[in-house]
Amino acid sequence: MRDFEFKNPTKIIFGKGKIAEVATEIPAEAKILMLYGGGSIKTNGIYEQVKDALKGRQLIEFGGIPANPEYDILLQALKVIKEQGINYLLAVGGGSVIDGTKFLSSAALYDGDSPWDILTKGIRTVKGMPFGTVLTIPATGSEMNSGAVITRAETQEKLGMGGPGLFPEFSVLDPQVVSSLPKRQIVNGITDAYTHVLEQYMTYPAGAYLQDRFAESIMQTLVDVGPRVIENPADYEAASNFMWCCTMALNGLIQKGVPTDWAVHSMGHELTALYGIDHARTLAIVAPSHYRYNFDAKKEKLAQYAERVWGLSQGTLEDKATAAIEKTEEFFQSMDIQTKLSDYTDAFEGTAELIAKRFSARGWTGLGEHKKLAPADVEKIIEMSY
C-alpha cells in the first residue's frame, strides 16, 4: 500500500425529503446564489422544494449552466456574484452544475489576472467561497469531492481543477430525484461511476487489498442495481444504492494508497470537446481499447476483476483478463451505451491523430498509472476505438 493522506469534510444528507434541510445548513445571513442547469428542476419539483426551503432568505438565481459547464456562461455568473455581493453558492443539479459552482467558488476569491489561469496554470484552490449542493443526477461524484472539469467552447478545451478548498460544505442526496431522470442520464450515470472506479482500480496489484475490495464492491453493486434502476427509476432501493455508489466512486476513498490511471478520462474529454459526445459515453468508447492496448501492464488486475466482479474463474490469467474486457463492453452495451466512436460520429477519421497532436501541444507525454503513455500511444488507442 502506498502512503496517502485522506480528508473529506463534506457533510452528506441522504434520504427522502431531505432537500428542505438546505435551510439549516446555509448560514441565516448568507447572500445566496442558487445555480442550476437547463431547467429540468422546474418540471420535477426540485426547484420548488429548494425555493420553499429558502423562503425569506437572500437568494438570487442563475440558471442555464449547460452540460460540460461552459466557461463563458460561468463568467456571467461570476459577474452576478461580484455585483450582488454573493457569499454563499448553492448548486442544484448534476455534475456539470456542481463543477461550474466549484469554478465559481474558486474564481470568486481569485485575485489573479484571469480566472482561466486557474485551469491552465493548475492553480490549486486552498480556500473558495463556501457552497453546498442538492444533487439531481447521480453520476460524477462531484457532490463529495474537490475536483471539477470546465469546458471552453472557444478553444474546444476541457480542463480540470481542484484543491482542498473545493469540497462542498454539504450535499443533499435524495434518491427520489432519480425517478424523474430520462434513461439517457441514468445510463450515463451508471457508466460514469463505473468508469471512475475502473480508473482507480485497473492498474497493477499494489498490496492495497481493502481498497481493491471496496472498488469491487462499488462495481458489483452497480452491476446489480443498474438494470433495476433503468427498468424502474422509481425503485427507491435500487436508486439509493445507485446514488451512493456514484458518490463513493469518486470521493477520494478508493484512490488512497493505490496507483491510479485516468488516461481514459484524458482521452474521453477530447471526444466531448471535439464532438459533444456525452462524457460517460466517451469513457465507454475509450476504456475497452485502452485496456486492450495496455493489456500486459493491467492483466493481473483485469483477471482479479474478472473473478471478483464477473465471477469468471475459468482459464488462464490472460483468458480471464480478456473476458473481463468483453464483459465490461457488454455491460455498457446492455444499457444502450455504444462503445465505438463510429457509433457516435461519421467524421471519426483523423480523430486519433488530432487528439495526439493536442496532447503533444500541451506537453502531455506521461499518461496512465506508469506515466508512460505518449501521444503516439494515445493515437493508437483512439484508433482502436473507431
Residues that bind a copy of itself (CB under 8 A): 1-16, 18, 175, 207-211, 213-214, 216-218, 220-221, 224-225, 237, 240-241, 244-245, 248, 256-257
Q: 56 or 311, CB closer to a copy of itself?
A: 311
Q: 143 or 329, CB closer to a copy of itself?
A: 143
Which SS3 state, helix, strand or coil, does residue 173 take?
strand
Q: For residue 158, which of 95, 69, 246 has the smallest C-alpha distance?
A: 69
Instruction: Specify which residues 158 forms β-bridges with.
Output: 151
Compute the least distance from the CB of residue 19 to a copy of itself, in Å: 12
Compute the least distance from the CB of residue 176 to a copy of itself, in Å: 11
Q: How far, in Å, are 107, 110, 147, 233, 297 from residue 78 at the CA level?
A: 7, 11, 18, 35, 44
Q: Can you spell out the DSSP letters for 290-303? A: HHHHTHHHHHHHHH
Contacts of 237 (CB under 8 A, 6+ apart): 225
Chain centroid, CA 257 distance in Å: 21
Q: For the chain, how far is it from start to end, CA to CA, in angstroms? A: 37
Q: Can you spell out the DSSP letters for 319-371? A: HHHHHHHHHHHHHHHHTT---SGGGT-S--TTHHHHHHHHHHHTT---BTTTT
Contacts of 346 (CB under 8 A, 6+ apart): none
Q: 218 or 263, CB closer to a copy of itself?
A: 218
d(CA 257, CA 238): 30
Residues 148 and 93: beta-carbon distance below 8 Å: no
Q: 16 or 127, CB closer to a copy of itself?
A: 16
Residues 19 and 172: beta-carbon distance below 8 Å: yes
d(CA 11, CA 170): 4
Q: 45 or 207, CB closer to a copy of itself?
A: 207
Compute the least distance from the CB of residue 330 to a copy of itself, in Å: 21
Compute the least distance from the CB of residue 233 to a copy of itself, in Å: 16
Q: 3 or 111, CB closer to a copy of itself?
A: 3
Compute the least distance from the CB of residue 214 to a copy of itself, in Å: 5
Compute the least distance from the CB of residue 244 to a copy of itself, in Å: 5
Q: What does the CA dihedral 56, 62, 64, 70 come to, rounded to 10 degrees?
A: -150
**Phi-psi domain of 42 (left: phi exceeds 0; alpha: psi -120 through 50; beta: other):** alpha
Compute the least distance from the CB of residue 370 to a copy of itself, in Å: 20
Q: 4 or 318, CB closer to a copy of itself?
A: 4
Compute the least distance from the CB of residue 297 to a copy of itself, in Å: 21
To which residue does cell 456562461 refer? 73
Compute the least distance from the CB of residue 14 to a copy of itself, in Å: 5
